[in-house]
A and B are shown apart, each in its own frame.
Chain A
Amino acid sequence: MTTTKPPETSYGIGETKQLTGRVASLLGQIPTWVLWFFVVVWTIPTLGLFINSFRTRDAQRNSGWWMFWQDGANGYGSLTLDNYSDVLGTSATGGLANGLLNSMAIAVVATILPIAIAAFAAYAFAWIDFKGRDTLFIATVALLAVPSQVALIPLLQMYAGGAHLTLPLIDKTITVFPDLGLAGTIPAVWLTHTGFALPFAIFLLHNYISGLPRDLFESARIDGADHFTIFRKLVLPLSIPVLAAFTIFQFLWTWNDYLIALTMIGGNRQALPATVVIASLAGEFGRLEHLLTAGAFVITVVPLVVFFALQRFFVRGITAGSVKG
């Protein structure tokens, strides 16, 4: 083998030469192999859960999921759909089917509300001039890194008993937010998700809407269109891609949420979403452990379908600047 001499280096890091021939081509192959090794490692956990979810309790307990293709009691003879019918049925788990409905109810509303509210605000921040606009915008968006933990206790207090402000000096209390008995209900989760989502939603939509061509707005205004008409007829149709990106992001975020639903709904079993139902099943560590595989797969399948079907929008939503708190 020979090494060809590269042109004289002026790159400033001393004498370097290229490896050539078989060694170099072998080395060139390595990254691809390592990449696919990563892919296999990254997929195995989900694949294992998926296969295990079709195996009987005994098979799951006594042999690894990779034995599913073998003969015998723990092999393909053990494949079954019972785990799915058991976990969805009401008896064993307190009703994952009901939980899925609740998840859907939470996710749909908690996606629509922030989009609607944030789209208006993003438009105002981008195209309506007023004093202090930049400061207000930066203050709003800075909040997107705030962890939701800091708001949980006061919010729960507010949902459980309303918010009351005691005026200083005169010692009188006024009610700012009435006690609507929201604690333990799905609307409490809607309100919380909506508020928490807004800084990120405004940030994401603002980035897009402020990038629309200025001429468009000026010619519309010359034609006598007001802000509401411009928003409705111009901005909304043009912003479909970013609205889709945020919709998918927020839908998965609320579908996958555990903390807020657990805190705000708590003991009201009727209103619990699927994640909380599954997590409490996981907390029991015992008799029903074999249903956990099917349950976990059921709550995972919705995000996975959304992810694979709408990957382009999903990735855009995530990458657009997700420092969400």
Chain B
Amino acid sequence: MDRVIATVIGIVVAVGVSAIVFVGANKLFDLAPRRWSIFSTLIGGASSLAIFGLLWGNRLIDQPVTVTAIATVVGALTGYALSRTSDQNAHLAIGAVAGVLLGVLAGASIKPQWRPGIDAIALVLSVVLFLAVGVGIRSLRNTNSNMLRPVLLWGSIGWIIGAFLYPDLGTGTVAWTVIASVFAGGLLGGWVGTFPLPDQMMKRDIAVGSRKFIFLIPALAFISMTLVIPLIRTIWLSLLTGLPKELTWTGLSNYVDIVTDPTIIDFSDWTDVFTSRLFIGGIVVLIIGLVVARISGKRTGERLGLNGGSLAAISAGFILVAFAVFASVRGTISNNLWWIFAVTIFSTGAGLAIAVMSDRSKGENVAKSFIFMPMAISFVGAGIIWRFMFVARPPTKDQTGVLNAIWVKIGVWSNSTTATTVIVIILSLIILGLIYIAFRGRQAGNISVAAGSVVIALPLVWIIYKFLGPGLGGYEVFEGEVFAKPILFLTESPFNNFWMMVVLIWIQTGFAMVILSAAIKGVPADLLEAASIDGATESQKFWRITVPQIGPTIGVVVTTLIVTVLKVFDIPKVMTNGNFDTQVLANEMWQRAFTELDFGLGSALAAIIFFAVVPVMWRNIRQMQDQRAST
């Protein structure tokens, strides 16, 4: 119970403090035009608080609470005093006195180990150097202006660097520390005192002009702290090596290690690709697709007639060939490319198919929300859900995973004459139906229906062949007896990679579907109507109007999926933890960095993930610039 209370208190404090700071800042600057003296008092106090808070945060001063409180009061009084007089010389005097006071306070409370030694040459050099820079800049920008302000500001910067930052710390005396900080404070306070006296116009400008900072600084500070600076630092760390506390420069050797590591990229078996059944099958399907395309192209007078049927065969062949390549070139990077390829193609393809099929059909919203549901489930949850789908139990036991249960069942049917007969008859009837449709389609001149039916019939023919010939499904004949042979979905390399991709495809299809569905509904209705009047078929309308219209949206879906896949970590972590040849970059990075504590190599892997995303970022930026230019 106390954990709940602690949590609630934490929440209230976090939210409350941010709200108070924000509302307070806005109210504070609201005061500027109307109540200048109050505004000036509060700003004075806040500035001192900030400076002494910085010293406090760096653990530089003794008794930080008292010292900071006194400094805040001094600052507030200074602000008040400055607001009560409108004499420029009085301002200079008040500022300088306050600076001296704060300097004494700071100098006297700096801890002994931080007291600076005296290095006169460095001090003089530093002051002269910064004065020259400041005065130089000012005279270049505006030749006949008052030189007092740049002298005070740049003089104080030079002084602080020469007196505090350059010399050795911990060797100085109290006296010199106080003198040094009195000079620094006096110069800075004098600079504050030389601000031009504000008129009503300027007070309003302060109130209005400060808003953008108040509104933006929290966001920009957070983004810099958690994204920009860590990003730069990661790239820097990727050039170092060693234990976390003692990293040393090593140049690009982490990257060289990655590229030459056989677990990360391994071409040694790439020639296997030419003998793999997947590759040969893929080539065959590809050729069939091209032939179908050529035949339908002849009818329409194009070189290649791309319609549902031919495109399905061509892309299926292409996917099979690509899978064959990914299955023979092994290693983390190959796995990642495989993930990108498979998840992007299947999620976009299935999402598009579902979006088209559900468009204006009965129960569209119900169907879509069931497909979209996995988007709400965590990757951890999804990984566990699918682990139960992929269970493989010993051959003598019942299969408890859905997929293996089906696979083994098919194997049983394949060994029973009755079941084989029934299945072959059913499939033959379907094929006959498809042939009839193809024939009718050809007669009606609708090539895409004809080609589609032929292409759908082909795998059915293949299944009949498997049932009659070598057999299909999860079984194995050993000494005349038939045993179940489940697929080891998660442990059998290389295709265990693909089964894990299925999980992400299951999740991301809903995403692709929702976005593409919205885009399809945005295709102008009069375009489609005009095409119907001109006698275009449904499939012609789809390929010639809908697809070009939603092209940019497909681009958005694909780039989003690429970024998602590059970061995929939870699914491999939960399902195999990178074992059995299923490592991906994000998991490799995590293991190297946080299990083996090799920050250099981990950073290099993280940097590689980042570099892979840069083209996507570039594309987003260009798109936003175009949008801005057009509005």
Contact = CB atoms under 8 A, between A and B. Distances in A.
A79 interface: no
Interface in B516-533: 518, 531, 533
Contacts of B602: 153
A56 B495 CA distance: 32
A144 B223 CA distance: 10
A38 B535 contact: no
B613 A146 contact: yes
B451 interface: no
A237 B218 CA distance: 22
Interface stretch (B73-81, B129-137, B462-470, B570-578): B570-578
Contact of B556 (A11, A109, A121, A323): A323
A198 B599 contact: no
Given A152-B594, A226-B208, A299-B378, 6 more contacts: A42-B374, A64-B402, A152-B606, A158-B230, A258-B378, A275-B380
B376 A150 contact: no
Contacts of B244: 157
B350 interface: yes
Contact of B445 (A16, A144, A283): A16
A64 B401 contact: yes
Contacts of A34: 353, 357
A128 B211 contact: yes
A143 interface: yes
Interface of A: 3, 6-11, 13-19, 23, 27, 31-32, 34-36, 38-39, 42-46, 48-49, 52, 60-66, 98, 101-102, 104-105, 108-109, 112-113, 116-118, 120-121, 123-125, 128, 130, 134, 136, 138, 140-158, 163, 167, 170, 172, 174-175, 177-178, 186-187, 190-192, 194-196, 198-199, 202, 226-228, 231, 252, 255-259, 263, 266, 270, 275, 278-279, 282-283, 292-293, 295-296, 299-300, 303-304, 306-308, 311, 314-315, 318-319, 321-323, 325
B161 A170 contact: yes
A98 B358 CA distance: 42
Interface stretch (B103-111, B275-283, B618-626): B618-626
Contacts of A307: 373, 375-376
A63, A117, A174 interface centre (most CB from chain B within 10 Å): A117
Interface in B36-93: 57-59
B489 to A, nearest CB: 13
A239 to B, nearest CB: 15
A18 B444 contact: yes
Contacts of A118: 219
A45 B374 CA distance: 10
Contacts of B603: 153
A192 B226 contact: yes
A108 B11 contact: yes
B11 A9 contact: no
Contacts of A199: 223, 227
B386 A45 contact: yes
19 contacts: A23-B440, A46-B373, A109-B11, A113-B14, A150-B231, A152-B590, A155-B226, A157-B244, A158-B230, A172-B169, A177-B225, A192-B226, A198-B222, A256-B378, A257-B378, A263-B590, A279-B573, A300-B385, A322-B511
Nearest to B615: A145
Nearest to B211: A227
A323 to B, nearest CB: 5
B384 A11 contact: no
A323 B374 contact: no
B227, B237, B594, B607 interface centre (most CB from chain A within 10 Å): B227
A198 B593 contact: no
